[in-house]
Amino acid sequence: MVSQKRLATLPDIESLKKLSQSLAMLDAIMSPEWESRYYSFNSKWGEGEMMASMRDGSGDEYFILFNPRGAIMKGFAHESSMSPYATDSGELWSGLLDGVPSEFPDFLSEAAFSIENTTFCIWRKYIDASWQIGSIDYPEGHDPDGSEDLLFILDGQPFTYKDFAEEYYEREVDLFAVEHIYRHKPLTAEIVAALNADVSLDELKSDIEEIGYPERVRYCVKSQAFLPIQDRTACQFSTPHRRDARVCASPHR
């Protein structure tokens, strides 16, 4: 269930967003057929909004909405004891959506998220120090809302995805390639081939665009780090000491 311990182990909002993009990019490489993928990410869900999702094909799912105010997640474990289909009333568990902030006005009414099918809901605003849940009196039993089973992948560990993918796709998964994508390093033909020799980098172009995964990086002098090319900071081309890099610079310098 969504205990305080579980809330404390969830990544912060930006880290969760990047992790969700990595999971979607990995699944896009592993499975060219979208219907067979577990994880997806839409970086253009709405104006200022991005959406991550997980669907296992058997009725379990989660959706995460990212907007300029923060992030909110709902999950549904259809066999959990807190499922509306497991109760006499057929309604959502009491307190599940209590306290959902007004910063997420459309989340509860978005048809794509099927709020009527919810066993856990978690949210966090950028101004919050931690993730939040409603006032819930959980039933007895292990993982009554199913969150432990559905959110295990969000520990940020590349080997967790490797283990999942090897079981689900029934083939060996290259850990180095998974680590590469977890770090948001640009995709290369070699990294793609290490995960799926039947998929080319060019074939992933539309997935890369939808996910918003960084295609290239540049070296930023100000931060002294490589940043995604999508960063809007003004840049100039390479300096003598770093060939073929793009160097971040202020437009007034």
pLDDT in tens, 144-164: 999 999 999 999 999 999 999
Long-range CB contact pairs, 194-198, < 8 A, 24+: 195/26, 195/29, 195/30, 196/29, 196/30, 196/32, 198/32
Of 199, 253, 145, the closest CA to residue 26 belongs to 199
User: 83 is written with which tokens?
Assistant: 């499922």
Q: What's the confidence (pLDDT) of residue 9?
A: 87
**What is the number of residues in the chain?**
253
Cα→Cα distances 6→11, 43, 99, 231, Å: 10, 26, 19, 32
Residue 219 has a pLDDT of: 52
Rounded average pLDDT per 10-residue block, the chain, 253 residues? 75 97 98 92 95 94 97 96 90 94 92 95 96 92 90 96 96 97 94 96 94 72 53 41 36 34
For residue 34, what pLDDT is reported? 87
- 177 contacts: CB under 8 Å, gap ≥ 6: 191, 194, 195
> In this predicted structure, what is the pLDDT of residue 7?
82
Q: What is the pLDDT of residue 226?
A: 47
Separation of alpha carbons 96 and 22, rounded Å: 29
- Burial zone of 246 (CB within 10 Å; 0-12 exposed, 13-18 middle, 19+ buried): buried
223-251 pLDDT tens trace: 554 455 554 444 443 333 333 333 333 33
